[in-house]
Protein backbone atom coordinates (compact mmCIF):
# COMPACT_ATOMS: atom_id res chain seq x y z
CA UNK A 1 0.00 0.00 0.00
CA UNK A 2 2.79 2.41 0.86
CA UNK A 3 4.37 1.86 -2.57
CA UNK A 4 1.11 2.82 -4.31
CA UNK A 5 0.57 5.88 -2.14
CA UNK A 6 4.12 7.11 -2.76
CA UNK A 7 3.77 6.52 -6.51
CA UNK A 8 0.50 8.46 -6.53
CA UNK A 9 2.10 11.46 -4.82
CA UNK A 10 5.11 11.21 -7.13
CA UNK A 11 2.72 11.30 -10.09
CA UNK A 12 1.01 14.40 -8.70
CA UNK A 13 4.38 16.07 -8.13
CA UNK A 14 5.44 15.29 -11.72
CA UNK A 15 2.25 16.95 -12.98
CA UNK A 16 3.21 20.18 -11.19
CA UNK A 17 6.65 20.45 -12.82
CA UNK A 18 6.86 22.89 -15.73
CA UNK A 19 7.30 21.95 -18.51
CA UNK A 20 5.52 18.64 -18.08
CA UNK A 21 7.63 15.72 -19.28
CA UNK A 22 5.00 13.40 -20.74
CA UNK A 23 7.13 10.26 -20.86
CA UNK A 24 7.73 10.67 -17.11
CA UNK A 25 3.96 10.94 -16.56
CA UNK A 26 3.41 7.78 -18.64
CA UNK A 27 6.10 5.95 -16.65
CA UNK A 28 4.58 6.97 -13.33
CA UNK A 29 1.11 5.92 -14.51
CA UNK A 30 2.51 2.50 -15.43
CA UNK A 31 4.26 2.15 -12.07
CA UNK A 32 1.12 3.23 -10.23
CA UNK A 33 -0.93 0.68 -12.18
CA UNK A 34 1.58 -2.10 -11.49
CA UNK A 35 1.55 -1.17 -7.81
CA UNK A 36 -2.24 -1.37 -7.67
CA UNK A 37 -2.08 -4.75 -9.38
CA UNK A 38 0.46 -6.00 -6.85
CA UNK A 39 -1.73 -4.75 -4.01
CA UNK A 40 -4.73 -6.62 -5.46
CA UNK A 41 -2.78 -9.88 -5.84
CA UNK A 42 -1.37 -9.52 -2.32
CA UNK A 43 -4.85 -8.89 -0.93
CA UNK A 44 -6.17 -12.02 -2.65
CA UNK A 45 -3.23 -14.06 -1.35
CA UNK A 46 -3.82 -12.89 2.22
CA UNK A 47 -7.54 -13.65 1.96
CA UNK A 48 -6.73 -17.14 0.69
CA UNK A 49 -4.23 -17.79 3.48
CA UNK A 50 -6.64 -16.58 6.16
CA UNK A 51 -9.48 -18.66 4.68
CA UNK A 52 -11.96 -15.79 4.63
CA UNK A 53 -13.52 -16.71 1.28
CA UNK A 54 -15.27 -19.93 0.23
CA UNK A 55 -13.32 -22.43 -1.86
CA UNK A 56 -14.82 -23.22 -5.23
Predicted confidence at residue 1, as pLDDT, reads 83
- pLDDT tens by residue, 24-45: 899 999 999 999 999 999 999 9
For residues 40, 44, 50, 56, the Cα torsion angle rounded to the nearest 10 degrees is 160
| 41 is a domain residue | yes
**What total number of domains does the chain contain?**
1
Predicted confidence at residue 55, as pLDDT, reads 59
| 55 is a domain residue | no
| 45 is a domain residue | yes
Instruction: Confirm whether pTM is higher than 0.85.
Output: no
Average pLDDT, the chain: 87
| 26 is a domain residue | yes
Predicted confidence at residue 39, as pLDDT, reads 93
Domain of residue 24, residue span: 2-50
| 56 is a domain residue | no
Instruction: Determine the Cα–Cα distance for residues 37 and 53; give it in Å rounded to an integer.
Output: 20
56 vs 18 pLDDT, higher one: 18
Amino acid sequence: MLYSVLNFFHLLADLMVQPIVWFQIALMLMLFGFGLGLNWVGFQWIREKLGSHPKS
